Amino acid sequence: MIRNDVFQTLKPIISEHLVVCNIGAPSQELHAMDDQPSNFYMLGTMGLASSIGLGLAAAQDKPVVAIDGDGSVLTNLGTLATIGSNPHGNFTLLIIDNGSYGSTGDQPTYAGMKTDLAAVAKACGTENVQTVSAEDTAAAVQAAIASDEMTIIVSKCESGNVKVPVIKTNPIVIRERFMEEVRR
């Protein structure tokens, strides 16, 4: 299974929840599959989906799912320390770990080599860290949303993208409708 296959299994589980999604192919695939006002798409900055998700989870009580990638987490590795030291039970970080930079031509990442992001996350202080197969990801995310404990899920899937259009929605529209969902 590639990222987009995992997304298909996640659709019924995350569709109603606040989702902060990683830049590039992940946001584009999520947008093409199930565009929701409760999705915040990162259009520009690499590596900050987990940070935005944590800030959002700290600021309000609704469950927040941040969807990040192994390459993006590596670009902002300090985020795992901040998350580990500031646990918020309503926060779930899903790291789609396909061992590659999917948006730029599937170049390999260090997570696909020697680096174990789940071990890093654990060492950074998050108690509930799970490494799951692509097939088991949806069930793990569903359980994490339902639980009161902050969870980091590393979903091991295959490298690859599907052809979907870029997101043309105005960024202020994305933010405004997302904030309306937060307030709802």
Where do contacts with another protein occur on this chain (CB under 8 A)?
A: 20, 40, 42-45, 47-60, 76, 78-79, 81-82, 86, 171-172, 174-175, 178-179, 182-183
Contact 136, 156 (CB under 8 A): no
> Nearest approach, Cβ of 180 to another protein (angstroms)?
10
| Residue nearer to another protein on the CB measure, 2 or 182 | 182
Nearer to another protein, 8 or 86 (CB): 86
Q: How far is the CB of 134 from another protein (least distance, A)?
A: 27
Q: How far is the CB of 86 from another protein (least distance, A)?
A: 6
| Of 59 and 166, CB closest to another protein | 59
Residues 6+ away with beta carbon under 8 Å from 2: 98, 157, 158, 159, 160, 161, 162
Long-range contacts of 52-61 (CB under 8 A, 24+ apart): 52/20, 53/20, 53/91, 53/93, 54/79, 54/82, 54/83, 54/86, 54/88, 54/91, 54/93, 56/18, 56/20, 56/182, 57/88, 57/90, 57/91, 58/86, 58/88, 60/182, 61/90
**Least distance from another protein to the Cβ atom of residue 82, Å:** 6
Nearest distance in Å: CB 172, another protein = 6
> Which lies closer to another protein via its Cβ, residue 108 or residue 171?
171
165: buried, middle or exposed (CB in 10 Å: 19+, 13-18, 0-12)? exposed
Nearer to another protein, 42 or 132 (CB): 42
